[in-house]
Amino acid sequence: MTALKCWPLLALCMIWAVQEESVCVHPTRGDSHAVSLDAVGRAQEDIKRRLALSWESSLKLGGDQPFDSGLPACGARKTRRFRTPLPPDMVGKTIAFAPSDRMPDADVRVATSVRKLIDVQADALADRALVERLDVRCAPTIVRAISEVELELVENP
């Protein structure tokens, strides 16, 4: 295109640009205040000190500590079904919930208790959220994902 052919297009763009409102709007945010970098530094150090004290006083799991999820022992062998949505990659997989020293074979092994955490022979420790989500009532229990919406639970296999 020659300069003479581009001139009307350029003029049209300039007119449109002048009439358009600003894209960025910066409303006032109130009065401004002076900031002391020393005060900011002191506040950061205070937060760091408080977090360190909180971390030191929090419960820490050591290798020699026992673990117990609170699940009772299963009485008799029982098979039941439970409906819950599952990810497609879980279909056909098994999850075993059992004490670490009596863990049955499964794709995923979840320990419900162990004498020393350092001796655990499982993929995970049982927690309340997982137990409730899969409707596990006692240990040992084997959970089989039958479909994307149904589990089979075998208590005391």
Please give the single-letter amino acid code of residue 105.
Answer: D
Please give the single-letter amino acid code of residue 47.
Answer: I
| Single pTM value for the model | 0.60
User: Does any domain span residue 148?
Assistant: yes
Please give the single-letter amino acid code of residue 3.
Answer: A
- Beta-strand runs (E) in 54-149: 67-68, 78-83, 94-98, 108-111, 113-114, 124-125, 141-145
Mean per-residue pLDDT over the chain, rounded? 82
User: Does any domain span residue 111?
Assistant: yes
Q: Is the pLDDT of residue 36 over 70?
A: yes
Distance separating the N- and C-terminal Cα atoms of the chain:
82
Residue 84's domain comprises: 77-155
How does pLDDT run across 90-134, given as a tens digit for each residue?
Answer: 899 999 999 999 999 999 999 999 998 888 888 888 988 889 989
Q: How many domains does the chain have?
A: 1
Residues β-bridged to residue 33? none
User: Does any domain span residue 33?
Assistant: no
User: Does any domain span residue 53?
Assistant: no
Which of 12-21, 56-65, 104-113 reaches the highest mean pLDDT? 104-113
How does pLDDT run across 143-155, given as a tens digit for each residue?
Answer: 999 999 999 999 9
Q: Is the pLDDT of residue 1 over 70?
A: no
